[in-house]
């Protein structure tokens, strides 16, 4: 179980508390500036917050950076790499911090990188310089990096922002696979229908405060107030869709 307890950060986040069971996918929702990315960075250990982030009762703040990476890892919205790494070198280097004080990479590490390049259908990018990739290509490589590290908690910050529409179902399959493996996934997305598809728990942030935490119905009950806008919620058999309210029918 992941527990966030009384988390504060520089007036941006104010007394955030919620818990997530293993095998759960959390849709983290809120308007721009509500604190979503800041919260993910706090959980990932990138910011010096006050309060607690506990995984199975263990205070993650007390862990070394190397151990914390194995517990929680983060896919940022944007990542710039100053060194001219190829995609293959970048992915292989992501395994080095996991090796301890005297890291050495083995054939199995190379095979592991090649496996995820194939799995995510990006093997053709293997020898490309990371900085030359498109936004969508970078996101796919960063997802491969997370899968290589394979933490207990996956943090996805707008992973679909740069992806083509046809790639979103693939991303949903990855999230589903992580859920089946009893991982914890926390994901933000501007596409509320995508969040409805992949998440079973929702956390809403508004002005840096916890606005609600609960299941899909709680999300649907609060979504208009969360975003301060009129929305239409359409239900068709087992499907639910959220659409902007235009005043018309259909």
Domains and CATH numbers, the chain: 2-244 (3.40.50.300)
Phi, psi (deg, nearest 5) at residue 70:
-75, -20
> Could you report the per-residue pLDDT of 155-180, keeping only the tens digit for each?
999 887 666 666 678 888 999 999 99
Average pLDDT over residues 194-200: 93
- CB of 27 closer than 8 Å to CB of 187: yes
Burial class (CB in 10 A: 0-12, 13-18, 19+), 181: exposed
Distant-in-sequence, close-in-space partners of 116: CB < 8 Å, separation ≥ 6: 91, 144, 147, 148
Cα dihedral across residues 121, 135, 145, 13: positive or negative: negative
**CA dist list (Å): 148 to 60, 96, 160, 228:** 21, 11, 19, 39
Dist. CA 109–CA 95, nearest whole Å: 8
> Could you report the per-residue pLDDT of 55-102, keeping only the tens digit for each?
999 999 999 888 888 899 998 876 667 678 899 999 988 887 666 555
Residue recorded with tokens 């050495």? 104
> pLDDT grade, residue 104 (50/70/90)?
low
**pLDDT value for 139:** 84
Sheet of 13-20: strand order equals 13-20, 2-9, 50-55, 58-59
- CB of 174 closer than 8 Å to CB of 115: no
Distant-in-sequence, close-in-space partners of 115: CB < 8 Å, separation ≥ 6: none
Phi, psi (deg, nearest 5) at residue 28:
-95, 115
Helix (H, G, I), strand (E, B) or coil at 171: helix
The DSSP letter of residue 191 is: -
Partners of 5 in beta bridges: 52
Cα dihedral across residues 74, 77, 81, 86: positive or negative: positive
> Could you report the per-residue pLDDT of 207-249, keeping only the tens digit for each?
999 999 999 999 999 999 999 999 999 988 788 889 888 765 5
**In percent, how much of the chain has pLDDT > 90?**
65
**pLDDT value for 159:** 82
Instruction: Count H helices and E strands in the chain, helices first.
Output: 8, 12
Partners of 86 in beta bridges: 129
The angle subtended at Cα 224 by Cα 153 and Cα 244, nearest 5°, is 100
């Amino acid at each position: 179980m992941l527990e966030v307890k009384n988390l504060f950060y520089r007036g941006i986040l104010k007394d955030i508390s919620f818990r997530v069971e293993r095998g759960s996918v959390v849709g983290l929702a809120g308007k721009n500036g509500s604190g979503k990315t800041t919260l993910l960075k706090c959980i990932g250990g990138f910011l010096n917050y006050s309060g607690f982030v506990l995984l199975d009762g263990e205070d993650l703040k007390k862990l070394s950076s190397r151990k914390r990476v194995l517990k929680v890892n983060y896919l940022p919205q944007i990542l710039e790499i100053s060194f001219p790494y190829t995609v293959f070198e970048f992915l292989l280097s992501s395994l080095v911090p996991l090796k301890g004080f005297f890291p050495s990479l083995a054939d199995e590490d190379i095979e592991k990188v090649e496996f995820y390049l194939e799995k995510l259908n990006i093997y053709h990018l293997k020898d490309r310089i990371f900085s030359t990739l498109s936004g969508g290509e970078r996101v796919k490589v960063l997802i491969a990096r997370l899968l290589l590290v394979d933490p207990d908690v996956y943090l996805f910050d707008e992973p679909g922002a740069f992806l083509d529409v046809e790639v979103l179902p693939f991303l949903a399959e990855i999230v589903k696979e992580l859920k089946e493996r009893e991982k914890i996934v926390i994901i933000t997305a501007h596409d509320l229908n995508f969040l409805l598809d992949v998440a079973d728990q929702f956390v809403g942030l508004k002005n840096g405060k916890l606005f609600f935490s609960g299941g899909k119905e709680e999300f649907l009950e609060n979504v208009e107030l969360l975003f301060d806008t009129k929305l239409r919620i359409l239900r068709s058999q087992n499907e639910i869709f959220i659409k902007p309210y235009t005043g018309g029918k259909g």
